[in-house]
Amino acid sequence: MLGGSGQNARATWRGHPARPKVWEETPEGLYVLLENLFKMTPPTALIIEETPRVVAALRFFAERGIRVPDHVSLVSADYDPSLAWCHRVIAHMEWDNDPIIRRIVRWVAALRQGRADHKTINYPAEFIPGNSIGPARKG
């Protein structure tokens, strides 16, 4: 999954070492990462966070004749109405933001009171299939 800054952070969090930096989070860094991914054995699917990265990946594919979903399946980890404008609707995840916003408000309130709040909550998401997922390649 091509993720955001949380994935590539270099600090430690709650005593756990951070993951090593996987790619330079710039437009050029994304292109280098995609070039490397497609160099030898191309991936059959990508799940990408953040709409600008999805758009950049689509541009990368177009420049190289890589067709979604014929050559690679594509899923956006986020919902963005602008992706509905793609000729093939991009498969994506959707969730209700309200519980997440309430959780952030509670977390900030705890911080203001000097309390550490390390509670982890999983919020349900729904997978919305689109036309960007093709059959798995054989062999």
Predicted confidence (pLDDT) at residue 18 exceeds the cutoff of 90: no
Taking only Cα atoms into account, the Rg of the chain, rounded to an integer number of angstroms, comes to 18
Given this model, what pLDDT does residue 1 score? Answer: 63
Predicted confidence (pLDDT) at residue 34 exceeds the cutoff of 90: yes
What single-letter amino acid sits at 45? A
Bond before 81 cis per omega within 30 degrees: no
Q: If pLDDT is split at 50, 70 and 90, which confidence band does 3 have?
A: low
Q: Which domains does the chain have, with CATH numbers?
A: 5-94 (3.40.50.2300)
Per-residue 3-state assignment (H helix, E strand, C coil) for the chain: CECCHHHHCCCCECCECCCCCCCCCCHHHHHHHHHHHHHCCCCCEEEECCHHHHHHHHHHHHHHCCCCCCCCEEEECCCCHHHHHCCCCCEEEECCHHHHHHHHHHHHHHHHCCCCCCCCCCCCCEEECCCCCCCCCCC
Q: If pLDDT is split at 50, 70 and 90, which confidence band does 12 have?
A: very low
Given this model, what pLDDT does residue 127 score? Answer: 95
Given this model, what pLDDT does residue 112 score? Answer: 94
Q: Looking at per-residue confidence, does 87 or 69 come out higher?
A: 69
Given this model, what pLDDT does residue 35 score? Answer: 95
Q: Looking at per-residue confidence, does 7 or 46 come out higher?
A: 46
